[in-house]
Amino acid sequence: MVVTSPEDLVPDDLTSRLRASGALPCGRATTVDIGERRTTILSTIVPLRVEYSPDTPAEAPRHLLLKAKRSGLDASLQSVGEREVAFYRQAAPLMPRGPFPRCYDAEFSSGRFHLLLEDLSDTHMVLTEWPLPPSVDACERIVDTWSAFHAFWWRHPSLGREVGTFLDEAALAKIASEYRARYARFAETLGDRLWPAARAIYARVLDAWDRLFTPGRLYATYTLAHGDAHVWNLLYPRDSASSGIRLIDWDAWRVGRAASDLAYMMALHWYPERRARLEAPLLERYHAGLLAHGVTGCPLSANWRHPSGSRHLDSTRPSGGPTSTVSSPPWTTSAAPRSSPEGALATRALPTEPRASSLERTRGH
């Protein structure tokens, strides 16, 4: 049963859920103290402090986060949380020590969801205030984390079967049609505020879509891609020597190209000068990490130095940033791949790579 309110998570219910996850082999929860709710664009997050009976193991989780769907969302957002639940139910168990929070319970039903996650507030933090980019040292640690994660899932036998799905030509054609319709509404809404040079860039991207996005190109090499890999979707260790980065917010994951996550991190949120200075060395570091973790048949070719297929589609996605407080219009950018206004706007129109519908995305077939 989906938990819609922290008040519904009484001690006996929490005991049952933790017992089922293996986190509470004996003992029981006696008290659940509810902390201050935090509301994001799509969800609410509530910290929980748990007290247990004396016979409970010391390692039982005492600080948890309950993440659930925010009330009052538009009907078109009924699938919010479905993908993240699928990640923690399907993918996370195959990577027991993966760089993401431990999840003790995850359910989705009838447009509602909840996640019961470990609370890492004492040991981890959001690295910077959006849109300030992280330091070079932090960026290096981030790409090291991505190389280890992507290498684990590189051509993993479960991908496209038990975990995620491969999109066929019909699915890709449907998604392309939806994106073209979305752009038409976008352009009509802006009218003459979307100047001719920008329209020409969009036209070239859309014209190239069918050539860029074919099953053969998308899945020539593949891994588990996050799909929303900006640096505010990770938690950075407060004591960098004692623990690793944790990747969070998995509601956009898919079977896809590793380069798409790096392109999303760099192309969408960095100014041109920073990207020009850091992109090549970070990609080289990332590639070295893949090789160190056993990935083969992945040369550092021009595609890795300039992951254009991901970059061009990454570069056209409307976004107001990772938080609900938007200081600029959602069709502008904080980090264009070029310095011209046209380049800035062209960095935000369409998603990184084709994404399956909510139904397709949660099935392994």
111-161 pLDDT tens trace: 999 999 999 999 999 999 988 899 999 999 999 999 999 999 999 999 999
pLDDT at 171 over 50: yes
299 falls in which pLDDT band (50, 70, 90)? confident
Q: CA distances (Å), 252 to each of 123, 166, 224, in order?
A: 25, 15, 11
Q: What percent of the chain has pLDDT over 70?
A: 82
Task: Report the 3 state secondary structure along the chain.
Answer: CCCCCHHHCCHHHHHHHHHHHCCCCCCCEEEEEECCCEECCCEEEEEEEEEECCCCCCCCCCEEEEEEECCCCCHHHCCCCHHHHHHHHHHHHHCCCCCCCCEEEEEEECCEEEEEEECCCCCEECCCCCCCCCCHHHHHHHHHHHHHHHHHHCCCCCECCCECCCCCHHHHHHHHHHHHHHHHHHHHHHHHHCCHHHHHHHHHHHHHHHHHCCHHHHCCCCEEECCCCCCCCEEEECCCCCCCCEECCCCCCEEECHHHHHHHHHHCCCCHHHHHHHHHHHHHHHHHHHHHCCCCCCCCCHHHHCCHHHHHHHCECCCCCCCCCCCCCCCCCCCCCCCCHHHHHCCCCECCCCCCCHHHHCCCC
CA distance 275 to 248: 24
- Vertex 77: Cα angle to 246 and 212 (nearest 5): 70
Q: With contact defined as beta carbons under 8 Å apart, do 270 and 283 qualify?
A: no
Structural contact between residues 159 and 304, judged by C-beta atoms closer than 8 angstroms: no
Give residue 364's pLDDT. 34
pLDDT of 44 reads 96
Question: In whole angstroms, how far apart are CA 3 and each of 68, 112, 267?
Answer: 8, 9, 37
pLDDT at 355 over 90: no
More reliable by pLDDT, 187 or 323: 187
* Average pLDDT of the residues of the chain: 85
Q: How far, in Å, CA of 269 to CA of 253, rounded? A: 19
Phi, psi of 211 (to 5 degrees): -80, -35
pLDDT over 50 (residue 198): yes
Q: Over range 344-361, report the average pLDDT.
A: 41
Cα angle 216, 203, 345; round to 5: 105
Confidence tier at 300 by pLDDT (50, 70, 90): confident
pTM for the full predicted model? 0.84
